[in-house]
Amino acid sequence: MSLEKWEELKPIIYVNDAYVNCAVVELGQINTLYAFDIMWFDAIPDEFAIYEVFPDPIGVHTFAGCEELYTQRFCDFNPLSQHCNETP
């Protein structure tokens, strides 16, 4: 998403100088898009759901201790990925 769009959506989750229902790490400009990592504690607000992407696990940023949670969600959406194949 663009930085302008992020600034437009940010007030939905940033209230009284704190993020609500999530943890956010702003990664900054990557190529032509503004990137951030959000770990939602509840349902993803509709305004944000269309921007959800699934980079390969353990990429640019990881919430420490939550790697398995991300990999599980990643595999729900990308079951054929090499990151999702279980080894015997």
Q: Give me the amino acid identity at 78.
A: N
- The pLDDT of residue 4 is 93
Question: CA quadruple 78, 84, 36, 21: dihedral positive or negative?
Answer: positive
pLDDT of residue 87: 55
Residue ranges for the chain with pLDDT beneath 70: 58-60, 86-88
Write the CB contacts of 14 (distance below 8 Å, at least 6 apart in sequence): 20, 24
Rg value, the chain, Cα? 14
In the prediction, which pLDDT does 32 show? Answer: 86
Closest by CA to 78, choosing from 56, 47, 59, is: 56
pLDDT at residue 24 in the model: 94
Q: Would the CA dihedral through 15, 2, 63, 44 be positive or negative?
A: positive
